[in-house]
Structure 1
Amino acid sequence: MRRTARSGRGDKTNGRWARRGSAQAIALSRLAPRDLLSEALAGMLQRPARSVLTALGTVLGVGTFVAVLGLTATTSSQIDSRFNALTATEVTVEDVGAGRDSVAGTSFPDDSDTRIQALNGVRHAGVYWPVSLKPGETVRSSPVGGASEVGDETQVVAASPGVLQAAAPTVEQGRLFDSFHSDRAEPVVVIGSGLAARLGITTLDTQPAVFIGDKPFTVIGVIGDVQRKSDLLLSVVIPSTVAEKAWGAPSTDEPAKMLIATELGAAAQIADEAPLALDPAHPARFKAVPPADPKALRTTVGSDLDQLFLLLAAICLVIGAVGIANTTLVAVLERTGEIGLRRALGARGRHITGQFLAESGALGAIGGLVGTSLGTITVVAVAAAREWTPVVHPATVAAAPAIGLATGLVAGLYPAWRASRIEPAEALRR
């Protein structure tokens, strides 16, 4: 009896030591980082086609992210140069003294163009104003009304030769009028290509004419585009001397203005000097409008582009994350038996979690690296095609692979957690 009792106590003691040893073995089980990476690599290489398709979403998302930021920076650089080349080189002088201080018609002197062009930094300058036509006067290409009549909405602009030069037009046919036509008050006009088509004028070889009311004017030039003062494309431009003879001086309701094209960086200085150059005794009769600071507009344009394209990149990253999460979850379901066997051999829940997180993170990181390369190549290719200077910030290139890695880790959280919750006995029964 005693031996039996002792034997029973010994069995109990041995059972307790066996359970303690098993618990200690489980507690001491660990997964080295090297083994973790090798397991993740083996899991990806088991199904390479699926891994490539899974990483494709991250490739598109990260590639779009890099391409968007690079193209935005490149476009902003081009916007800067265009603002500097056009907006920052244009000054407008308004006649605010017309009709006041015994000034009739216009405050601009007859030699306004010469005075302003004598200033250092001025390329071209000229005075212009809208002509006030008499009631019933319209623009047509024949002396009587008909299909070629364009109506009362067509504006007639009186301009000195410097206005056309300051507008920097592209001449499609003929030429611009110059000081010769202006000094002799020649009845000539320059019109835009759209207005020429409406008037039925297709060539200048026949020396076509347009009629403003009953006054004929020879069309000597057709312009297709302008860099400044785009309303000239829809107007009939005549020499200012001709307009004064036929319709008088500018009205006080729509006074004359001056358009000045300057060298880069000289606009602000010319805006300060122009009133004094035009009339040293009465500079207050003129209001010079310098170009607006383009920094605020450039910032707004760049911000809008950033927000729009970053939203597109975020959508691509979300799609990539959903693809990785879906594929990882399917892998968990397919590998339930493997997970159960690993748990039975001593793997803990955190080891299973780390394994699947490593797989999804590796897919995201690889997708991020490939996407970064493709995005950079896209920026360079687009810039080369448009003859721009590609701009890609180093921070963007450095952050893009990290974004891919983070996307893969976030996408693998739920599948990895679900894998760690699988019980060994249940998994082995499946």
Structure 2
Amino acid sequence: MPIGGGAGPGESHEQPDGRKAPLPRLRAADLLATGTLGVRTRRTRAVLSALGIAIGIAAIVAVLGVTRSSQSALLAQIDRLGTNLLTVVNGRDLGGAEATLPVDAARMIRRMTGVLHVAPTTQLAARNVYRNARVPSGQTGGLAVRACDPSLPAALDGRVRRGRFLDAATAGYPVTVLGYEAARTLGITGTGPDVRVWLGGHWFSVAGILDPLPLAPEIDRSALVGFPVAARLLGYDGHPSRLYVRVAQDRVEQVAGLLALTTDPANPEQAEVNRPSDALTARLAVAQSGAALFLGLGAIALLVGGIGIGNIMVISVLERRGEIGLRRSLGATRRHVAGQFLTESLVLAAIGGAGGVAIGCLVTAGLSASRGWDLLIPPEALWGGPAVALAVGALAGLYPALRAAALAPTDALRTV
């Protein structure tokens, strides 16, 4: 380690002839060796010191990675399902009672420019579906009975998982199609004339089971029957309670603004227009707000880790006063001593930052695999995590380094 001529306590570097001598130089390799001395000799303490930084960085990387992966999955789902589905639901009249939509509401909506498909449905109140006639009436399982027509799959872009959907031939008979959750609740996996459910006081054969419909969860928990059989056996009065409207993508806003008036020209305030995909968009906003909260918690953990490193470095300065005095008496300058302890702080922070990035990536990968998401970790998290860790380490080690540099050799050597 070339240290040049020795410097006294006052950092004087003058030669006998009065000229200033060059400042002693410390090679980077020697600085790294001396700076990692405390890390190598006190490994347990070094690991515990770096752990606080690692936890903070891991939290930040995991939050950014999980948020990006979940948002990507939600955006893909929105793109797949589309944002051009609108629903019209019967609202409340001025007296607070449940309003009824006009019988010809679906026919009127079909005349609107930009409307691709319209599917009227009606929830049949006081009608429930059971696995058999012996199930107590109160054990409904939260399932509903809805009347619909064959246009429903096209409007919802739905698929039949097993069997077939209602058609003109079966809509007038006691035949039902079960939503995905309804079939699971009833314990039904097959279809056919021999597979029956007790629906509204009558036996209905199960013709089909639908795939899940993320934009219409109420259909998932329903048993669907045709309008003719609903009118004949279940008291259907011809008024729809919910209409599903699939619109051309470039006409969504225009149709949504006129949909209530078209549905019920006399009382448009009694028709509530919604876009189911807005719920998925709201989940994106919730995910972003939750990410901000967890990023704040990660920053707090990082701050605590930085304070821990600063505390350890102050203790290290006190423990190594003799070493500092010996180095100063052999010619090390104050900046050499400061560099040594600052390097040690940076090394601890770098270890914590690297470990935190690794842990955060593993957490993100595990959660993404369990949820079926594509693994996406922002590049800025991969390089920003270690950079933030080093910045925290530099700030944490600055005071201890300056304190070590301020020790006079004579004072430091008194502890030897």
TM-score, normalization: structure 2? 0.72
Per-residue deviation at 1:259?
1.0
2:169 aligns to what SS in structure 1? helix
Residue aligning to 1:155: 144
* Equivalent-residue separation in structure 1 for 2:93 and 2:173 (angstroms): 27
2:313 equivalent to 1:328: yes
Which of 120, 129, 146 in structure 1 is aligned with 2:134?
A: 146
Identity fraction in percent: 28
Which of 29, 32, 41 in structure 2 is aligned with 1:41?
A: 32
Q: Which structure 1 residue ranges, 5 or more long, are not aligned? A: 1-20
RMSD between superposed Cα atoms in Å: 4.5
* Equivalent-residue separation in structure 2 for 1:322 and 1:125 (angstroms): 63
* Equivalent-residue separation in structure 1 for 2:331 and 2:129 (angstroms): 95
2:77 equivalent to 1:93: no
* Equivalent-residue separation in structure 2 for 1:243 and 1:333 (angstroms): 87
1:35 aligns to what SS in structure 2? coil
* Equivalent-residue separation in structure 1 for 2:143 and 2:359 (angstroms): 52
Residue aligning to 2:17: none
Per-residue deviation at 1:302?
0.8
* Equivalent-residue separation in structure 1 for 2:157 and 2:166 (angstroms): 13
2:123 equivalent to 1:130: yes
Q: Is the 8 A contact 1:174 1:221 kept in 2?
A: yes
2:232 equivalent to 1:238: no
User: Which structure carries more helix by proportion?
Assistant: 1
Which of 222, 233, 237 in structure 1 is aligned with 2:209?
A: 222
2:292 equivalent to 1:299: no
Write out per-residue CA displacement over residues 244-274 of structure 1, whole angstroms, 9 at most, x where no aligned residue.
23314156xxx62211234555432332465
Larger Rg: 1 or 2? 1
Paired residue type of 1:127: P
Q: Is the 8 A contact 1:140 1:150 kept in 2?
A: no
1:22-421 aligned at under 5 Å gives the runs 25=12, 35=26, 37-46=28-37, 48=40, 50=42, 53=47, 55=50, 57-59=52-54, 61-86=56-81, 88-94=83-89, 106-109=101-104, 112=107, 116=110, 120=114, 122=116, 124-133=117-126, 139-142=129-132, 145-147=133-135, 151=139, 154-169=143-158, 171-182=160-171, 185-192=172-179, 194-196=181-183, 199=186, 201-205=188-192, 207-223=194-210, 225-246=212-233, 247-250=235-238, 256-262=241-247, 264-272=249-257, 274=259, 284=268, 287=271, 289-291=273-275, 298-312=284-298, 314-315=300-301, 317-318=302-303, 320-322=305-307, 324-325=309-310, 327-329=312-314, 331-345=316-330, 352-365=337-350, 368=353, 386=372, 388=374, 390=376, 392=378, 394=380, 396=381, 399-420=384-405
Q: Is the 8 A contact 2:86 2:273 kept in 1?
A: yes
Q: Is the 8 A contact 2:103 2:238 kept in 1?
A: no
* Equivalent-residue separation in structure 2 for 1:221 and 1:379 (angstroms): 39
Structure 1's 347 and 376: CA in aligned 2 closer, same or farther, altered over 3 A? same
2:119 aligns to what SS in structure 1? strand
Q: Is the 8 A contact 1:268 1:290 kept in 2?
A: no
Paired residue type of 1:415: P
Per-residue deviation at 1:173?
3.2
* Equivalent-residue separation in structure 2 for 1:96 and 1:148 (angstroms): 31
Q: Which structure 2 residue ranges, 5 or more long, are not aligned? A: 1-7, 15-19
Structure 1's 350 and 111: CA in aligned 2 closer, same or farther, altered over 3 A? closer
Per-residue deviation at 1:91?
0.4
Per-residue deviation at 1:314?
4.0
Per-residue deviation at 1:337?
2.0
Per-residue deviation at 1:131?
1.5
